[in-house]
């Protein structure tokens, strides 16, 4: 399978600060990036979809000004949680997808964000 690197794996930040999560596809070009959020003991919830060089499309109920997504290259996408609050504490997972591997979904290792 493809190699996906998501960093950091864990981060603790103070309320009001911003946190950036990086997701890299190391051996394929990710034309599309999916960002998920997972609450404890629950399934993955799609937050947004981004295509390289374009603005992200956010799912209903997801604040685009709070969760900034940048997909400037085919190998890197970032999710920035701005002005973080304790309720933003969660597990975030990226899933890059390439045109040649469209029916294959690969996932990053996830980032556990704790806002204190």
Nearer to another protein, 14 or 103 (CB): 103
3-state secondary structure the chain: CCCEEEECCEEEECCCCCEEEEEEECCCCCCEEEEEEECCCCCEEEEEEEECCCCCEECCCCCCCCEEEECCCCCEEEEEECCCCHHHCEEEEEEEECHHHCCCCCCCCCEEEEEC
Q: How far is the CB of 109 from another protein (least distance, A)?
A: 5
Which residue's CB is nearer to another protein, number 82 or number 110?
A: 110
CB of 22 to another protein, least distance (A): 17
Supply the minimum distance, in Å, between the C-beta of residue 16 and another protein: 27
| Least spacing, CB of residue 69 vs another protein, in Å | 15
* Residue 17 vs 27, nearer CB to another protein: 27
Report the residue number, 46 or 72, with the smaller CB distance to another protein. 46
Which residues contribute to the site for another protein (CB under 8 A)?
A: 1, 32, 34, 38, 41-44, 46, 49, 91, 93, 95, 97, 102-107, 109-110, 112
CB 44 within 8 A of CB 93: yes
């Amino acid at each position: 399978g493809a190699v996906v690197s998501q960093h950091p794996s864990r981060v603790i930040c103070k309320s009001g600060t911003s946190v950036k999560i990086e997701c890299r596809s190391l051996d394929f070009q990710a034309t599309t990036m999916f960002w998920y959020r997972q609450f404890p003991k629950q399934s993955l919830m799609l937050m947004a979809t981004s295509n390289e060089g374009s603005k992200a499309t956010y799912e209903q109920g997801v604040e685009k000004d709070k969760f900034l997504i940048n997909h400037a290259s085919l190998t890197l996408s970032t999710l920035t949680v701005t002005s973080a609050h304790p309720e933003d504490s969660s597990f975030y997972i990226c899933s890059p997808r390439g045109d040649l591997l469209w029916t294959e979904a690969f996932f990053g290792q996830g980032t556990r964000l704790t806002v204190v």
